[in-house]
Every structure is written in C-alpha cells, then in structure tokens.
Amino acid sequence: MKTLILITLFLAALPAAAQTYPSRPIRLVVAFPPGGSVDAVARQVAPPLAESLGQPVVVENRSGASGNIGTEFAARSRPDGYTLLIHTIPFVANAYLYTKMPYDSLADFAPVSLLCSSPAVLIVNPKVPARSVAELIALARSKPGALNYSAAGAGTNPHIAGELFNMLGNVDIVAVQYKGGGPALVAVLGGEVGITFQNISEAVPQVNSGRVRARGDEHQARRGAAHPAVSRRFAQMGLDVIASTPEEFAAHLKEESDNWGRVIRERRMRVE
C-alpha cells in the first residue's frame, strides 16, 4: 500500500549576475517550523553549500498555511539567486487545495534540485484491531467514517497521505487536524486517534519503543546533498539522496503536480 511520499524541493530564483555570484550571504527559506524533517534537511545542507559557494547560508524558518507563508515570501524576494526555498509536497499540492494562491509554483520559481526523498509510514495505535494494512482496510470498510487519522494541519503531508489512502483503499477514514506533526503523532501515541502518516525519521523511535505499530511504506543544491557527510546523515534519517539536475527536477515537479492534483480533486479536498 503506498503511503505518503515526502519530497524535499530546493528552489531558487535565477542569479542576475552569474559571473559575480555569490557575493553576499544566501538565505535558505524553510517553509515549515524548526525541528521537523524539512528543517533538518536544510540544516544539514547549509554548511557544505556555504563551503562550496564561499558565502554563509542562513536558514530561515517561515512556517504557516501548509508552507504558503514561506513560499510567498520567497516568491516575492528579488530574483537574484540569494533567496532559496526548501519545501515538500504542498509546494505543488497547495495550488489545488486553496481557492486563491499568491504565487504560481511552476512559473515563479527556477528549480535547482530534488535533494532527497523519504519513505513514510502508516502508524497505528496498538489498540486498533488491525495487524496489517489489509486488516486496517477491511476494518475501515466495515465502519465507514468511524476511524480517524491525525494530520499536521489542513493540506499538510499527513492530510494528503490520508486522502490518498482513502482513494486507493476505497475507504473513509476521517482527518482530525492538529497544529503540527508533533501534536499529530502525540495524538496517536495517546490514543486520541488511531492512525497517522509520519515521516520515517520521526516515526522510527516510536515504532522501536513499541508505542505504535508501523504498517507500510513507499519510497518515492546538488552539492550540499551529495556531500559525503550529508549523505551519511540523510541515510541515518531514513532519507534517500537524489540530487537531481534542474531539468530532471522540473519534469518531476510537473509529474507530482499532476499526480497530487488528481488525488485532491477526486477526494474533493479544499482549504479555505
């Protein structure tokens, strides 16, 4: 059963004067709060990127609205290559979730590299009487609308993953929104809800402790990501280094936009 695919995106405006670039510090905008997996990726990439470019790379968290706040900030920055954005699935999904968007994901940014991807796990509280994905689907089908899953806010990765699960499994589990991935995970640990979808790097400690059960996974600045120390750290976090070319990344963005747009339309997901 496919669950959430976490995609970390690395975008930048085009340098205005490539021959002198960079001549001052670079800002790396993270569209999510400190402490999460996207923030961790940014802070691993920043030091080797700064070393390679010969200028400081400053990580700046601007979170909110499923990444829209940080993305709009980056879109409104001068197109000189000194503001970079690191993001995940909502970068392309938000265009389908929100009625009005202050930026165009595919037109207002120049793709640099798909840095890495990560498996996500379907996490189930031990009190839920399902020992496998098949059993969970059967349980959900027997009780339409009775099972809940926690999400980190409307339009976030766990929310989209839950609706993908609904669509592929032909079931109806109901999203309960929390303010962030941490509270969403705590809700499952405490039994407030039975299910969530979590990045593997954040889920492994809880699974190993026996507090929750994992049920299924699916894998989906090149210089920084390819740095040996960063690659080792990404492996420890459960991330697969990709470090694509800009051309490969642009094609991937288009494909992801089409795929997640189909899920969002079929599930009639909207964020007001």
* Burial bucket for residue 173 (CB in 10 Å: 0-12, 13-18, 19+): buried
Strands 195-199, 83-87: pairing is unpaired
- Axis-axis angle for helices 200-208, 37-53 (nearest 10): 130
Superfamily of domain 5-118+220-266: Bordetella uptake gene, domain 1 (3.40.190.150)
Mean pLDDT, rounded, for 31-52: 86
Question: How high does pLDDT run on average in the chain?
Answer: 80
Q: Which two tokens stand for residue 228?
A: 């040996």
CATH 3.40.190.150 range(s) for the chain read: 5-118+220-266
Amino acid present at 224? G
CA 188 to CA 105: how far, in whole Å? 33
CATH of 119-214, one of 3.20.20.70, 3.30.70.100, 3.30.450.20, 3.40.190.10: 3.40.190.10
115, 159, 255, 107 alpha-carbon torsion, rounded to 10°: -80
Element (H, E) at 147: none
pLDDT per residue over 70-93, tens digit each? Answer: 999 999 998 888 899 998 888 998
Q: Does the bond joining 126 to the residue before it have cis omega, within 30 degrees of 0?
A: no
Q: Read off the pLDDT of residues 119-136 as tens digits, 9 standing for 90 and up.
A: 778 889 989 998 888 999
- 60-69, 134-143, 152-161: least confidently modelled range: 152-161
